[in-house]
Amino acid sequence: MASRIVQARLDELAARHGLPGGATATFAALLDLVAVEPASITSVRDPERGVDVHVADSLVALELDAVRDARTVADLGSGGGFPGLALAIALPETQVALVESVRRKCAFLERAAGELGLVNVRVVNARAESWPEGIGGHDVVTARALAPLGVLVEYAAPLLREGGSLVAWKGYRDATEEADAGVAADALGMARPVPRPAAPFPGTEARTLYVSLKVRSTPSGYPRRPGMARKRPFRASS
């Protein structure tokens, strides 16, 4: 059962983002599942911290029209379920694929989706580069605390339909990372990522959502085999 602090914050988030009826109860239940999960899925388990660090941080993406209007979302490296499960709760008409390579984390995601009654969720136990069924099938690809921005552009490009968007959660802006991502975007049919400052909860340290639109088809040869995006990333200075 949610504490008064958690419930108050969830009510605030429901008002801010126009969440559907019953969403606050579902979020409270999700935070409880995270708190008691024995497997190592996240370092933040306390619901009174998680309501901001996990839920509010995930829901700030609802301020983007691309996310609000998406009918298919692929969340890469879903881990403990954020932002993927959070967006599935907030957008019940949107189909959300939780793409996670670690089996024990997939087990948690499957159990959580089942217990929360999220019929719009499916869990994919795979790396982003090893999921051929996902190619070209998504309006939005999300990624939070997963990889450098240029690597995320490479992961996302094949999975997006033309006109779809990558939304990547980052902290402080980094000029080198942005430059590398621009080179990756140019090569992969994506627009250069645009940074958007975000403030998901009071006292948030630097938070940036990067949005990159897929403007043309992904060149042949992508996705590269697993691990290559990190091993040989696009570089602005190469």
What is the share, in percent, of the chain residues with pLDDT greater than 90? 92
Could you read off the pLDDT of 88-103 as tens digits, one per residue?
A: 999 999 999 999 999 9
**8 lies in a domain?**
no
Given a cut of 70, is residue 238 above it in pLDDT? no
**37 lies in a domain?**
no
Per-residue pLDDT at 237: 79
pTM of the predicted model as reported, rounded to 2 decimal places: 0.96
For residue 167, what pLDDT band results from cuts at 50, 70 and 90? very high
**17 lies in a domain?**
no
CA distance 209 to 173: 10
Alpha carbons within 13 A on the beta-carbon side of 39: 14
Q: Mean pLDDT, the chain, as a whole number?
A: 96
Strands 72-76 and 95-100, by their bridges, are parallel
**15 lies in a domain?**
no
**163 lies in a domain?**
yes
**184 lies in a domain?**
yes
Per-residue pLDDT at 65: 97
Which residue range is the domain that position 124 belongs to?
Answer: 51-231
Could you read off the pLDDT of 34-77 as tens digits, one per residue?
A: 999 988 888 889 999 999 999 999 999 999 999 999 999 999 99
**108 lies in a domain?**
yes
Domain count, the chain: 1
Helices in the chain by DSSP H: which ranges? 4-17, 23-36, 47-50, 57-59, 65-68, 84-90, 103-116, 149-159, 175-188, 228-231
**161 lies in a domain?**
yes
Could you read off the pLDDT of 173-209 as tens digits, one per residue?
A: 999 999 999 999 999 999 999 999 999 998 887 899 9
Other Cβ atoms within 10 Å of 199 Cβ, number: 12
Could you read off the pLDDT of 108-150 as tens digits, one per residue?
A: 999 999 999 999 999 999 999 999 999 999 999 999 989 999 9
Alpha carbons within 13 A on the beta-carbon side of 218: 20
Q: Identify the CATH number of the domain in which residue 190 sits.
A: 3.40.50.150
